[in-house]
Amino acid sequence: LIYKHYKASYRKTLYLFMTSAIFSSVALGITYYFFPTYVSQNLVYYTVLIPIQNFFGLWLLMSLFSKCVSDKELFIRHAQNEKIQTMSHVAASLAHEVRNPLTAVKGFLKLIQESPENLVKVDQYIRISLDEIQRTEAILTEYLAISKPLKERHELINVCELLHAIREVMLPFANMYNVELELQAFEKPVKIKANPDEFKQVLVNFIKNAIEACSDISDGKVTLGLLIERNKALLVIKDNGVGMDAGQISRLGTIYFSTKSSGTGLGLTYSYHVIHAIGGSVNVSSKPRVGTKFTIMLPYKAQ
Ligand code: ADP
Ligand code: MG
């Protein structure tokens, strides 16, 4: 009853005071009805101490509650910024990747222009050019699908297909850091129920971290794997990068934990949240200077 007014009002303390007064007098009335002598014997306690206690209790509750709400809003805003930042890093490397096929297609068009009479060659050049364009188009489509705002929907997604698509998108980023990105996927369809937008973002976060962990290593390699074990789909992201010590591992997924100069420490917080929400879990094993292995366990629908 009072909440609507409370929310709109600037005089929140007054509303808290009024609420605690009503609250206290109802309790006092009931107590007096059943135990009149008891109340009159402890009059100060019932008419002063209890209302004051109620007022402070309510005040504390409301302050903590408002703080939680604003923390949560802050987190959501940061998570959105993190997504934009992540995707802009990936976009920078993507620009390179789009230039390569463009250069190739330009070269083939020139060759066609020089000798249009050699139909066999012309046909071959056109075929290669079309392949290049198609591949670039697929990468861009996938990139746009990942970077668009999240939509609330859960559907069955084929993890193998998704891994192939994400690998295509992340390959330029890996190339930029001179890191090999290998995929050892289970070829049969593995379907899980999740929000595809969220799940793609989760994979991008893990793979981007793994590539970044290998950035200072000469033969950096990130391996993506998928296997099935006892009704769980296990998604493995392994790298031979900097690794983590026990202290760092225990802080993984906690908000704002980052060891990077320009890191936000929100990527894994968000990812863990999404994975737990679909009934999955994450297992980490890591050794400093050896590498890290993240295993994401997901409940899946057997075919
Ligand atoms: P950010 O990437 O912005 O730092 P994340 O939440 O994605 O934030 O990651 C948090 C931290 O976890 C990283 O700063 C890093 O120290 C550690 N981390 C995550 N993945 C790996 C990995 N594959 N190898 C080593 N450290 C990692
Ligand atoms: Mg990250």
Domain ranges for the chain, please list them.
1-148, 155-299
**Contact residues of ligand 1, CB 6 A cut-off:** 205, 209-210, 213, 239, 241-244, 248, 252, 257-260, 263-269, 292
- For residue 146, the CA-to-ligand 1 centroid distance in Å is 20
Q: Which CATH number fits domain 1-148: 3.40.50.1000, 1.10.3720.10, 3.40.1190.10, 1.10.287.130?
A: 1.10.287.130
Tokens of 175: 């190339």
CATH topology assigned to domain 155-299: Heat Shock Protein 90 (3.30.565)
Query: Structure pTM?
Result: 0.69
DSSP 227-267: EEETTEEEEEEEE-SS---HHHHHHTTSTT---STT--S-H
Ordered per-residue pLDDT tens for the chain, 303 residues = 777 777 788 888 888 888 888 888 998 999 999 999 988 898 898 889 988 998 999 899 988 988 888 888 888 777 777 777 888 778 777 776 777 788 889 999 999 999 899 899 899 999 999 988 888 887 787 777 777 766 678 889 999 989 998 998 888 889 889 999 999 977 788 899 998 888 988 999 999 999 999 999 999 999 999 998 888 899 999 999 999 999 999 989 887 788 988 777 888 988 998 898 889 999 999 999 999 999 999 998 775
- For residue 275, the CA-to-ligand 1 centroid distance in Å is 17
Q: What is the CA radius of gyration of the chain?
A: 29
- Which of 208, 236, 258 is the pocket-test mutation for ligand 1 (most atoms within 8 Å of CB)? 258
